[in-house]
Amino acid sequence: MSTDVLEFWCQVRRRRNHFFLWWFGWPVAGIVVAIGYESMVKAEAPSWLMVGLLCVWFVAWVLLARRLGQLRCPRCDRAAIGHPYFFMRHARCRHCGLSYAAV
């Protein structure tokens, strides 16, 4: 395997992990903001603040998915990943079939 292929799969893994970590991070971030607001202001966090935070979080999540989808396959130079919902053992280029399992 060439270093380009190995670097490509490292990027796929890293970007896919960022996508899922951001997804699972929402409950933690929401709780931290709500508790922090309550401790500073001595009142419950307003719903507009939490909805706004959720919207910002969601936009960033979509951008992370788009960033993963923009990775170019080192073999065919086309967008390799169609969606971020996969296990690495099943990862492959959707055009030429370059597979992570073959690495």
According to the model, what pLDDT value does residue 101 have? Answer: 86
How sure is the predictor about 1, in pLDDT bands with cuts at 50, 70 and 90? low
* Domain membership of residue 18 as a residue range: 3-102
> How many separate domains does the chain show?
1
Reported pTM = 0.83
Q: Where are the alpha helices (DSSP H) in the chain?
A: 3-41, 47-69
Mean pLDDT of 77-89: 92
Side chain identity at 18, as an amino acid letter?
A: H
Mean pLDDT of 81-96: 92
